[in-house]
Structure 1
Amino acid sequence: MTKGIPTLLDLEGLLTGKYSAVYFQRAADILAQDGKNPHVVMQIFQRNPAIVCGVDHVRELLKHCLTAEQKTKVVLKTLSDGDSVAPWETVMTLEGPYNYFAALESLYLGLLARATRAATNAREIREIVRPGTQLIFMADRYDHYAAQELDGHGVMVGGFNAVCTQSMAHIDQAPALGTISHSLIACYGGDSVEALKAFDRYVDPSVNRIALVDFTNDCVADSLRSARALGKKLWGVRLDTAENMFDETIRKLVADGRVTEEYQRHAGIGIGYGGTGVNPLLVWKVREALDAEGFQHVKIVVSGGFNVERIRIFEKYDVPVDVYGIGSSLYHGRFDYTADIVKVNGQPMAKAGRQYNHNPRLREVSLR
């Protein structure tokens, strides 16, 4: 598969130091005015077990910001996107005349930190779900749009199947998927089936038909209405019940005092995991209803506040989820990178507590 070329925004700003900490540029200016440009080894690491990501973007940054002559004198050695890394393990080294890349430190560390966070959090989820379960990145609205490409690449490296915007999909040429929006349903008078029919009439047939079924807060009823309307053309239903609401089916079970009994029947446990939002019992009831009417082919997509802890519970009890839509929970944690000069003109030279840490896993990457 041909990969997209990483996008660098505001190239002029990158070259003029607009996004770099001023002390890096001042360091380069001081050295230049003093007639110095020492040959250094810059060593880059971070402090957590992680999945490395952002390497392709760093390479693109260097390709754009170094002159042709400078590229012949700077050596980039690195792990690859998707590699596992231990705390303090060297992830990357830059070797060459320091002034050439002194002002880029803020930039390459930031690219690595953000992409590594997305990849690491995505990999954690991939490793706990059952084989064949699909994961979609639905974080289009939780941060600045300029970060979408890097985040999308990160989650794909971490093992997700799809994303939700074209920018997120760019690097890996990943599928940009979506269902039906609540706003579209509202524009069809709150009738989710009418909105689904319109989607079916006008959207490319190659796009999966996935009904959004929580608009009226009755996922079971709207799942059945959607399946009856589209039949075999319906790929799936998406449950996105608000975290502070009881779906109508769950509300009735609570009123009848049957929640514990239902959890015991499905999971062999006497207590349930909450009752509001998209919970295991609601998924089981939707699956039962669809299967009872012969719609076994319809898949179940869940979204709305899913994180590692919640997904672990769903997976522990074999809740019949086919696709998880996951958003802002992938932004948690810190995966900060640090860069240190560890050699100057071939001799060891580093701040106290740091030293050259050779990593035989690093491979040289061309900057041309």
Structure 2
Amino acid sequence: MTQGDHAGQGALADPAAYDVIADRTDAYFNRTRAIVEHFGDRKVTYAIFLRRPVISAPRLMVDWFRAVAAKQGVDIDCTIMFPEGTWVGAGEPLAYVTGSFAWLATLETLALQQLGPACVAAHNAYQMAMALPHVRFMAMEARHCAGFDMQDQMAYAASVGSRAAQKEGALGFVGGANDATAHYFGTGKGLGTMPHALVGYAGSTLRAAEMFHEVYPQMDLAVLVDYFGREVTDALEVCRHFPELAATGRIGVRLDTHGGRFLEGLDPQSSYAVLERHSPGSIRRYRSDKELSYLVGTGVSAAAIWRMREVLDEAGFPHVRIIASSGFSVEKCLSMADAHAPVDVIGTGSFIPDRWSETYATADIVAYDGTPRVKVGREFLLRRNGG
């Protein structure tokens, strides 16, 4: 098999196989291994850290080290300094990894890939859940990821950040969008409502709801209501068609209005009026144009959520839940919290880091054969006991 064949296997290749590791690591690390083997191997200790505060999410990296150690018959000791789900300060060593220099040199690239992004995404998920502690979140990262490896990493990260928030009383992330990553959230199956494509296929929002309920009668009915631009009209039509489901809290209306228009019946002036009725302080506290757009702008704004709650309650459907999606980042969640938006569930993949440069984990050797040594300026990475 050629080098190109190895690379072409992608996620199907064994990530602990030596040829796969060699293909995917930086060339200068492979050359380092050859030099070290020529002049004599040494036992080294690496310190691994990030330059920004994060939530510790090291499990994928640790599992990979263990798989490599088992498959290659090498001794790798990975000591995690901050347990999974705990806060890690900027520059604090998250892990110390000790073993053969020849081996660890070739593992650095792949190890860092599995740590940095997960820690930052976990931090984002934690912040989202803490901003809206009474809201249930659903992880919808899959369609925004570059393949399953990234999807698996991001779902894991969301679960870690969520559990950290749940320890502080938040509801957090209760599931993911597909079966493959459901286990991270303690569920057997993926969660979800219905896609816009099904509504288009059915020809009307009500017909899509009827089709869904006929095939899945035991499931709660979560209806996507923005396809025809009649969020209010179609939500009420579905509720009136299924009054028993609405009365027992088994209907949810999902708002996914895109940023090119307002929710049915809203415009800038009426959006301001909605928030004046329910959360006047939020309009006076916004700090940027982006925050203002989250409150009264197009798409799924705080005003849109409040307006949907108004019309549902006025029509006699107080138990119908509101599900929101569309760009719910940390910042948008904070704005929703400030406006006390009455949202029950949020579907989001926006815990994926926006600035990928923030996810870069770094590794430096801090000891050779037990003797502390690190490049100038990184002395803070040395173990306090001198090891």
- Give the TM bin, normalised by the shorter chain: 0.7 to 0.9
Partner residue of 1:169 out of 182, 195, 219: 182
| Partner of residue 227, structure 1 | 239
| Partner of residue 206, structure 2 | 193
Render the CA deviation track for 1:294-345: whole Å, top value 9, x for unaligned: 3222110111122222222221121101111222453213122111111101
Once residues 262 and 57 of structure 1 are traced to their aligned partners in structure 2, the CA distance between those partners, rounded to angstroms, is 46
Partner residue of 1:182 out of 196, 202, 209: 196
1:19 matches 2:41: no
User: Higher helix fraction: Structure 1 or Structure 2?
Assistant: 2
Q: Percent identity?
A: 28
| Partner of residue 263, structure 1 | 275
- CA shift for structure 1 position 12: 6.0
Assess if the C-alpha contact under 8 Å between 2:44 and 2:100 holds in 1. yes
| Partner of residue 382, structure 2 | 357
Assess if the C-alpha contact under 8 Å between 1:77 and 1:93 holds in 2. yes
| Partner of residue 109, structure 1 | 112
- CA shift for structure 1 position 208: 2.7
- Name the amino acid aligned to 2:278: H
| Partner of residue 242, structure 1 | 258
Once residues 13 and 295 of structure 1 are traced to their aligned partners in structure 2, the CA distance between those partners, rounded to angstroms, is 55
> Residues 346 and 224 of structure 1: is their aligned pair in 2 closer, same or farther, counting only changes over 3 Å?
same
Unaligned 5+ runs, structure 1:
1-7, 361-368
| Partner of residue 83, structure 1 | 86
Once residues 78 and 312 of structure 2 are traced to their aligned partners in structure 1, the CA distance between those partners, rounded to angstroms, is 55
SS in 1 for 2:114: helix
Assess if the C-alpha contact under 8 Å between 1:42 and 1:340 holds in 2. yes
Partner residue of 1:121 out of 112, 120, 124: 124
Count of matched residue pairs:
344
| Partner of residue 41, structure 1 | 45
1:339 matches 2:339: no
Render the CA deviation track for 1:234-285: whole Å, top value 9, x for unaligned: 331100111111222114xx6xx54443332222256873341112222122
- CA shift for structure 1 position 111: 0.3
| Partner of residue 94, structure 1 | 97
Higher mean displacement: 210-219 or 167-176: 167-176
Once residues 352 and 232 of structure 1 are traced to their aligned partners in structure 2, the CA distance between those partners, rounded to angstroms, is 70
- Name the amino acid aligned to 2:54: A
Assess if the C-alpha contact under 8 Å between 1:232 and 1:297 holds in 2. no
| Partner of residue 137, structure 2 | 135
- Name the amino acid aligned to 1:350: V
Once residues 359 and 82 of structure 1 are traced to their aligned partners in structure 2, the CA distance between those partners, rounded to angstroms, is 23
- Name the amino acid aligned to 2:36: L
| Partner of residue 299, structure 1 | 321
- CA shift for structure 1 position 352: 1.4
Assess if the C-alpha contact under 8 Å between 1:32 and 1:99 holds in 2. yes
Q: CA RMSD in A?
A: 2.4
- CA shift for structure 1 position 47: 1.1
- Structure number with greater CO (CA < 8 Å, separation at least 6) is 1
SS in 2 for 1:18: helix
- Name the amino acid aligned to 2:366: V
Once residues 229 and 71 of structure 2 are traced to their aligned partners in structure 1, the CA distance between those partners, rounded to angstroms, is 60
Structure-2-length-normalised TM-score: 0.82
Assess if the C-alpha contact under 8 Å between 1:243 and 1:305 holds in 2. no
- Name the amino acid aligned to 2:226: D
| Partner of residue 276, structure 1 | 298
- Name the amino acid aligned to 1:297: H
Once residues 298 and 319 of structure 1 are traced to their aligned partners in structure 2, the CA distance between those partners, rounded to angstroms, is 15
Assess if the C-alpha contact under 8 Å between 1:70 and 1:100 holds in 2. no
> Residues 261 and 75 of structure 1: is their aligned pair in 2 closer, same or farther, counting only changes over 3 Å?
closer
Unaligned 5+ runs, structure 2:
1-10, 163-172, 285-291
Structure-1-length-normalised TM-score: 0.86
Render the CA deviation track for 1:146-195: whole Å, top value 9, x for unaligned: 21111101011111222112233244444521101110011111x01111
Higher mean displacement: 74-83 or 100-109: 74-83
| Partner of residue 364, structure 1 | none
| Partner of residue 336, structure 2 | 314
Once residues 384 and 36 of structure 2 are traced to their aligned partners in structure 1, the CA distance between those partners, rounded to angstroms, is 29
> Residues 24 and 264 of structure 1: is their aligned pair in 2 closer, same or farther, counting only changes over 3 Å?
same
Assess if the C-alpha contact under 8 Å between 1:38 and 1:97 holds in 2. yes
